[in-house]
Amino acid sequence: MVRILFVCIENSNRSQMAEAFARIEGAEKVEVASAGSNPATAVNPKAVAAMAERGYDLGTHAPKSLADVGIVSWDYVVTMGCGDDCPLISSRQRLDWQLPDPREMDEYGYRTVCDEIERLVRQLIAGLP
């Protein structure tokens, strides 16, 4: 199993959706988690709605801190547009996806970011050994 960690600031939008897409796309290939450098108190309802449309229940997820996911030997750490707010986390490979935070975006903007996350996750999973 390839271990992937998705990180953003609040772990309430981008990284939660990326974790969900990785679970959908790589169910038998990956062990996946997400976390935030400054976690929110709940997953954004927009993220829950966007993933529900794709058949995934994010309503059961809660934002996690990096401490919550523990020290794991990650194969990939994917940061998601959080710059210096995302600390260096040990991994075999580190990727930085420059994605805007969709938290305050209208529905169209939010869905555009969600679609881009889905595309990037599919590309990542397809390239795994």
Rounded CA-CA distance 111/96 in Å is: 20
Whether 82 is catalytic: yes
pLDDT score, position 129: 81
pLDDT score, position 84: 62
pTM for the full predicted model: 0.93
Whether 86 is catalytic: yes
State pLDDT tens for residues 58-114. 999 999 998 899 877 899 999 997 766 677 788 899 999 999 999 999 999 999 999
Q: What per-residue string of b and e applies to 59-92 under the rule 16 or more CB within 10 Å gives b?
A: eebebbebeebeeeebbbbbbbbbeeebeebebe
Those residues whose C-beta lies under 8 Å from the C-beta of residue 30, and which sit 6 or more positions away, are 1, 2, 3, 4, 22, 23, 125, 128
Beta strands in 15-113 (DSSP E): 30-36, 74-79, 91-96
State pLDDT tens for residues 120-129. 999 999 999 8
Identified catalytic residue from 35, 48, 86, 124: 86
Identified catalytic residue from 4, 82, 99, 114: 82
Place of tokens 């990096």: 66
Mean pLDDT score, 16-30 = 94
Beta strands in the chain (DSSP E): 2-8, 30-36, 74-79, 91-96
pLDDT band at 19 (very low <50, low <70, confident <90, very high): very high
Identified catalytic residue from 4, 8, 20, 114: 8
pLDDT score, position 27: 83
pLDDT score, position 89: 80
Question: Which H or E run includes 129?
Answer: none
Whether 114 is catalytic: no
